Amino acid sequence: MAGVSSCMKYSMFIFNFLFWVCGCIILGVSIWMRVSKSAQEELQLDSSLFSAVDLMIAVGSIIMVLGFLGCCGAMKESQCMLLLFFIGLLLILILQVAAGILGAVYKSQIEETFNKTVIEEAKLLQDVTQEAQVFQEKFQKFEKANQCCGLVKGYQDWGTNFNTPMGNYKICECTKADENTDLCSFTNGKYLYKKTCGAVIIDFFKNHMIILMGIAFGLACIEILGLGFSMSLYCQIQKK
Protein backbone atom coordinates (compact mmCIF):
# COMPACT_ATOMS: atom_id res chain seq x y z
CA MET A 1 0.00 0.00 0.00
CA ALA A 2 2.99 2.32 0.39
CA GLY A 3 2.84 5.20 -2.04
CA VAL A 4 -0.83 4.63 -2.93
CA SER A 5 -3.38 7.05 -1.47
CA SER A 6 -6.23 5.18 0.24
CA CYS A 7 -8.51 8.16 -0.35
CA MET A 8 -7.77 8.12 -4.08
CA LYS A 9 -8.13 4.35 -4.22
CA TYR A 10 -11.55 4.19 -2.55
CA SER A 11 -12.81 7.30 -4.34
CA MET A 12 -11.94 5.57 -7.61
CA PHE A 13 -13.76 2.41 -6.44
CA ILE A 14 -16.93 4.30 -5.38
CA PHE A 15 -16.96 6.32 -8.60
CA ASN A 16 -16.73 3.20 -10.75
CA PHE A 17 -19.15 1.20 -8.63
CA LEU A 18 -21.81 3.88 -9.25
CA PHE A 19 -20.75 3.88 -12.92
CA TRP A 20 -21.22 0.10 -13.03
CA VAL A 21 -24.65 0.28 -11.33
CA CYS A 22 -25.80 2.83 -13.92
CA GLY A 23 -24.67 0.46 -16.66
CA CYS A 24 -26.58 -2.41 -15.04
CA ILE A 25 -29.77 -0.34 -14.87
CA ILE A 26 -29.49 0.81 -18.50
CA LEU A 27 -28.74 -2.73 -19.70
CA GLY A 28 -31.50 -4.33 -17.61
CA VAL A 29 -34.19 -1.87 -18.68
CA SER A 30 -33.09 -2.07 -22.34
CA ILE A 31 -33.20 -5.87 -22.43
CA TRP A 32 -36.62 -5.83 -20.73
CA MET A 33 -37.92 -3.39 -23.36
CA ARG A 34 -36.42 -5.55 -26.14
CA VAL A 35 -37.79 -8.96 -25.10
CA SER A 36 -40.94 -8.22 -23.10
CA LYS A 37 -44.13 -8.18 -25.19
CA SER A 38 -46.04 -6.45 -22.38
CA ALA A 39 -43.39 -3.71 -22.20
CA GLN A 40 -43.56 -3.13 -25.95
CA GLU A 41 -47.35 -2.83 -25.81
CA GLU A 42 -47.31 -0.58 -22.75
CA LEU A 43 -44.62 1.73 -24.14
CA GLN A 44 -46.06 1.47 -27.68
CA LEU A 45 -42.71 0.44 -29.15
CA ASP A 46 -42.63 -0.49 -32.82
CA SER A 47 -39.90 -1.98 -35.00
CA SER A 48 -38.58 1.47 -35.92
CA LEU A 49 -37.60 2.08 -32.28
CA PHE A 50 -35.80 -1.24 -31.74
CA SER A 51 -32.54 0.22 -33.11
CA ALA A 52 -32.61 2.82 -30.31
CA VAL A 53 -33.17 0.06 -27.73
CA ASP A 54 -30.30 -1.96 -29.22
CA LEU A 55 -28.07 1.12 -28.92
CA MET A 56 -29.04 1.42 -25.24
CA ILE A 57 -28.09 -2.25 -24.72
CA ALA A 58 -24.66 -1.56 -26.25
CA VAL A 59 -24.17 1.57 -24.14
CA GLY A 60 -25.19 -0.24 -20.95
CA SER A 61 -22.80 -3.10 -21.70
CA ILE A 62 -19.87 -0.74 -22.35
CA ILE A 63 -20.55 1.20 -19.13
CA MET A 64 -20.71 -2.07 -17.15
CA VAL A 65 -17.38 -3.26 -18.58
CA LEU A 66 -15.67 0.07 -17.89
CA GLY A 67 -17.10 0.22 -14.37
CA PHE A 68 -15.86 -3.31 -13.69
CA LEU A 69 -12.37 -2.47 -14.98
CA GLY A 70 -12.26 0.67 -12.85
CA CYS A 71 -13.42 -1.09 -9.67
CA CYS A 72 -11.07 -4.05 -10.03
CA GLY A 73 -8.21 -1.83 -11.16
CA ALA A 74 -8.58 0.33 -8.05
CA MET A 75 -8.93 -2.49 -5.50
CA LYS A 76 -6.28 -4.77 -7.02
CA GLU A 77 -4.05 -1.83 -7.90
CA SER A 78 -3.81 -3.19 -11.43
CA GLN A 79 -2.11 -0.83 -13.85
CA CYS A 80 -3.35 -2.86 -16.81
CA MET A 81 -7.03 -2.55 -15.79
CA LEU A 82 -6.66 1.13 -14.96
CA LEU A 83 -5.03 1.78 -18.31
CA LEU A 84 -7.80 -0.08 -20.15
CA PHE A 85 -10.38 1.91 -18.20
CA PHE A 86 -8.60 5.18 -19.06
CA ILE A 87 -8.38 4.33 -22.78
CA GLY A 88 -12.04 3.22 -22.94
CA LEU A 89 -13.32 6.34 -21.16
CA LEU A 90 -11.09 8.58 -23.29
CA LEU A 91 -12.47 7.04 -26.49
CA ILE A 92 -16.03 7.65 -25.29
CA LEU A 93 -15.20 11.28 -24.50
CA ILE A 94 -13.59 11.77 -27.93
CA LEU A 95 -16.60 10.21 -29.69
CA GLN A 96 -18.94 12.40 -27.64
CA VAL A 97 -17.04 15.57 -28.57
CA ALA A 98 -16.83 14.47 -32.23
CA ALA A 99 -20.59 13.81 -32.31
CA GLY A 100 -21.24 17.29 -30.93
CA ILE A 101 -18.98 18.92 -33.51
CA LEU A 102 -20.48 16.93 -36.39
CA GLY A 103 -23.98 17.75 -35.12
CA ALA A 104 -23.16 21.48 -35.20
CA VAL A 105 -21.42 21.32 -38.61
CA TYR A 106 -24.12 19.23 -40.31
CA LYS A 107 -27.08 20.77 -38.51
CA SER A 108 -28.76 21.84 -41.76
CA GLN A 109 -28.40 18.35 -43.25
CA ILE A 110 -29.83 16.78 -40.09
CA GLU A 111 -32.84 19.11 -40.29
CA GLU A 112 -33.26 18.28 -44.00
CA THR A 113 -33.15 14.53 -43.26
CA PHE A 114 -35.67 15.00 -40.45
CA ASN A 115 -38.01 16.91 -42.78
CA LYS A 116 -37.77 14.11 -45.38
CA THR A 117 -38.61 11.56 -42.69
CA VAL A 118 -41.63 13.61 -41.61
CA ILE A 119 -42.83 13.82 -45.21
CA GLU A 120 -42.56 10.02 -45.58
CA GLU A 121 -44.49 9.53 -42.34
CA ALA A 122 -47.17 11.97 -43.57
CA LYS A 123 -47.86 9.66 -46.52
CA LEU A 124 -49.01 6.98 -44.08
CA LEU A 125 -51.91 9.22 -43.04
CA GLN A 126 -53.45 8.78 -46.51
CA ASP A 127 -52.79 5.04 -46.70
CA VAL A 128 -55.43 2.38 -45.98
CA THR A 129 -53.19 -0.58 -45.13
CA GLN A 130 -53.32 -2.23 -41.72
CA GLU A 131 -49.83 -0.96 -40.85
CA ALA A 132 -50.86 2.58 -41.76
CA GLN A 133 -54.02 2.33 -39.65
CA VAL A 134 -51.94 1.37 -36.59
CA PHE A 135 -49.74 4.43 -37.18
CA GLN A 136 -52.83 6.61 -37.67
CA GLU A 137 -54.33 5.51 -34.35
CA LYS A 138 -51.12 6.39 -32.51
CA PHE A 139 -50.83 9.65 -34.41
CA GLN A 140 -54.37 10.66 -33.47
CA LYS A 141 -53.41 10.39 -29.80
CA PHE A 142 -50.43 12.65 -30.47
CA GLU A 143 -52.65 15.17 -32.28
CA LYS A 144 -55.12 15.24 -29.43
CA ALA A 145 -52.45 15.60 -26.74
CA ASN A 146 -50.61 18.42 -28.55
CA GLN A 147 -53.55 20.23 -30.20
CA CYS A 148 -52.06 19.89 -33.68
CA CYS A 149 -53.27 18.61 -37.04
CA GLY A 150 -51.36 16.66 -39.69
CA LEU A 151 -47.59 16.51 -39.99
CA VAL A 152 -46.58 18.90 -42.79
CA LYS A 153 -49.62 20.46 -44.50
CA GLY A 154 -52.15 20.24 -41.69
CA TYR A 155 -55.47 18.50 -42.37
CA GLN A 156 -54.46 18.01 -46.04
CA ASP A 157 -51.98 15.32 -44.94
CA TRP A 158 -54.96 13.05 -44.19
CA GLY A 159 -56.22 13.25 -47.78
CA THR A 160 -59.47 11.33 -48.29
CA ASN A 161 -59.05 9.76 -44.86
CA PHE A 162 -59.87 13.09 -43.24
CA ASN A 163 -63.65 12.79 -43.60
CA THR A 164 -63.98 9.03 -43.15
CA PRO A 165 -66.44 7.46 -40.69
CA MET A 166 -63.46 6.98 -38.36
CA GLY A 167 -63.74 10.71 -37.73
CA ASN A 168 -60.14 11.80 -38.26
CA TYR A 169 -61.40 15.35 -38.65
CA LYS A 170 -62.75 15.29 -35.09
CA ILE A 171 -59.24 15.04 -33.67
CA CYS A 172 -58.22 18.18 -35.60
CA GLU A 173 -61.30 20.13 -34.53
CA CYS A 174 -60.76 22.80 -31.91
CA THR A 175 -62.59 22.78 -28.62
CA LYS A 176 -65.19 25.48 -28.04
CA ALA A 177 -62.77 27.32 -25.75
CA ASP A 178 -60.07 27.44 -28.45
CA GLU A 179 -62.21 28.32 -31.48
CA ASN A 180 -61.62 32.09 -31.33
CA THR A 181 -57.95 31.90 -30.36
CA ASP A 182 -54.75 31.94 -32.43
CA LEU A 183 -54.58 28.16 -32.12
CA CYS A 184 -57.38 27.66 -34.64
CA SER A 185 -58.47 28.68 -38.11
CA PHE A 186 -61.87 28.32 -39.80
CA THR A 187 -61.41 25.88 -42.71
CA ASN A 188 -64.02 23.92 -44.71
CA GLY A 189 -66.75 24.89 -42.29
CA LYS A 190 -64.79 23.70 -39.25
CA TYR A 191 -62.49 25.23 -36.66
CA LEU A 192 -59.23 23.27 -37.01
CA TYR A 193 -55.93 23.53 -35.16
CA LYS A 194 -53.46 25.52 -37.27
CA LYS A 195 -50.21 24.09 -35.94
CA THR A 196 -48.87 20.95 -37.61
CA CYS A 197 -47.54 18.10 -35.49
CA GLY A 198 -44.25 18.29 -37.42
CA ALA A 199 -43.80 21.84 -36.07
CA VAL A 200 -44.61 20.56 -32.55
CA ILE A 201 -41.87 17.92 -32.81
CA ILE A 202 -39.31 20.45 -34.10
CA ASP A 203 -40.22 22.90 -31.31
CA PHE A 204 -39.82 20.10 -28.76
CA PHE A 205 -36.25 19.38 -29.89
CA LYS A 206 -35.37 23.08 -30.01
CA ASN A 207 -36.79 23.74 -26.53
CA HIS A 208 -34.98 20.74 -25.05
CA MET A 209 -31.66 21.39 -26.79
CA ILE A 210 -30.33 23.27 -23.74
CA ILE A 211 -31.21 20.31 -21.51
CA LEU A 212 -29.44 17.91 -23.89
CA MET A 213 -26.39 20.17 -23.96
CA GLY A 214 -26.42 20.30 -20.15
CA ILE A 215 -26.56 16.50 -19.91
CA ALA A 216 -23.71 16.17 -22.43
CA PHE A 217 -21.63 18.73 -20.49
CA GLY A 218 -22.36 16.93 -17.20
CA LEU A 219 -21.34 13.56 -18.68
CA ALA A 220 -18.13 15.12 -20.04
CA CYS A 221 -17.27 16.47 -16.56
CA ILE A 222 -17.87 13.03 -14.99
CA GLU A 223 -15.75 11.37 -17.68
CA ILE A 224 -12.91 13.87 -17.16
CA LEU A 225 -13.14 13.22 -13.40
CA GLY A 226 -12.88 9.48 -14.05
CA LEU A 227 -9.88 10.02 -16.32
CA GLY A 228 -8.19 12.08 -13.61
CA PHE A 229 -8.85 9.49 -10.90
CA SER A 230 -7.60 6.59 -13.01
CA MET A 231 -4.44 8.32 -14.22
CA SER A 232 -3.56 9.61 -10.73
CA LEU A 233 -3.97 6.15 -9.25
CA TYR A 234 -2.01 4.63 -12.16
CA CYS A 235 0.90 7.01 -11.54
CA GLN A 236 0.84 6.32 -7.77
CA ILE A 237 0.96 2.56 -8.35
CA GLN A 238 3.83 3.02 -10.82
CA LYS A 239 5.82 4.95 -8.21
CA LYS A 240 5.04 2.37 -5.51
| pLDDT reported for residue 47 | 53
164 and 233 in a single domain? The answer is no
102 and 161 in a single domain? The answer is no
- Residue 162: phi and psi, rounded to 5, are -65, -40
DSSP 174-209: PPTTTTTSTTEEEETTEEEE-S-HHHHHHHHHHHTH
| pLDDT reported for residue 1 | 45
| pLDDT reported for residue 110 | 64
Whole-angstrom Cα distance, residue 13 to residue 71? 5
Whole-angstrom Cα distance, residue 12 to residue 81? 13
Range of the domain at 169: 127-201
Number of domains present in the structure of the chain: 2
Residue 51: name the closest of 21, 20, 30 by CA: 30
Can you give the pTM of this predicted structure?
Answer: 0.61
Is residue 121 a part of any domain in this protein? no
191 and 231 in a single domain? The answer is no
Give the amino acid at 116. K
84 and 166 in a single domain? The answer is no
84 and 169 in a single domain? The answer is no
Is residue 54 a part of any domain in this protein? yes
Is residue 210 a part of any domain in this protein? no
DSSP 92-161: HHHHHHHHHHHHHHTHHHHHHHHHHHHHHHHHGGG--SHHHHHHHHHHHHHHHHHT---SSSGGGGGGGG
Is residue 43 a part of any domain in this protein? yes
| pLDDT reported for residue 171 | 81
93 and 154 in a single domain? The answer is no
69 and 141 in a single domain? The answer is no
Is residue 86 a part of any domain in this protein? yes
89 and 11 in a single domain? The answer is yes
Residue 81: name the closest of 9, 25, 18 by CA: 9
Is residue 39 a part of any domain in this protein? yes
Q: Give the three-state DSSP class for 221.
A: helix
102 and 131 in a single domain? The answer is no
19 and 100 in a single domain? The answer is yes
- Residue 191 β-bridge partners: 186
87 and 153 in a single domain? The answer is no
| pLDDT reported for residue 87 | 92
The tens-digit pLDDT sequence of the chain (240 residues) is 445 678 878 888 888 888 888 888 888 887 887 777 665 555 555 555 566 677 778 888 888 898 898 888 888 888 899 899 999 889 888 887 887 777 677 666 766 777 777 777 788 888 878 888 888 888 888 888 888 888 888 888 888 877 776 556 778 888 888 778 888 888 777 888 888 888 888 888 777 767 767 777 877 888 888 888 888 888 888 876
Is residue 164 a part of any domain in this protein? yes
104 and 131 in a single domain? The answer is no
Whole-angstrom Cα distance, residue 174 to residue 4? 69
Is residue 120 a part of any domain in this protein? no
